[in-house]
Amino acid sequence: MTSALDGCALVEHWRGRVQFFWEGMHEPEAMKGLSVRSCDPGSGQWSIHWMDTRSPKFDTPYVGDFDGRLGEFFRTWQSPAGERIGRIRFRDVSPDSVMWSLAISSDGGGSWTVLWKMGMTRARS
């Protein structure tokens, strides 16, 4: 991850093996991803834009902000089964690590199903 535009953006290059059960994947697949996280200094709101080798285009961003050691970002879309809300959460934010999760709600945010969790740590130079 690198800082850009005087700290108003972060660029993340990600690679790994994924098995998205919610997409019916039966075996892990290699995937590369790119995230651009941009901050509006006036409002303090961040937008998280993501693309990967499975879908190489930016979609509607997740938008939100941080409150202390917790950041929450949301995106709403229509699926064939109805409206869905996605939530990206950063928690336990420290200078050297963060816990990240992606969850989805099909009841307007009343309940959440966590789809993916990652613990991230700063690389040692």
The candidate with the shortest Cα–Cα distance to 17, out of 3, 4, 9, 27, is 27
Integer Cα distance of 50 and 59 in angstroms = 7
Residue 42 in tokens: 């006036």
Distance separating the N- and C-terminal Cα atoms of the chain: 13
Percent of the chain topping pLDDT 70:
99
Residues in the chain, pLDDT under 70: 125
Q: Would you state the structure tokens that stand for residue 103, as one six-digit string?
A: 């969850």
pLDDT (0 to 100) of residue 104: 94
**Predicted pLDDT of residue 94:** 82
Q: What is the pTM of this model?
A: 0.84
Q: How far is it, in rounded angstroms, from Cα 107 to Cα 91? A: 23
Token pair belonging to 94? 């420290």
- 21's enclosing H/E stretch is none
Question: Which residue range is the domain that position 25 belongs to?
Answer: 2-121
Cβ–Cβ under 8 Å, residues 49 and 61 = yes
CA-based nearest residue to 43, from 62, 25, 64: 64
Number of domains making up the chain: 1
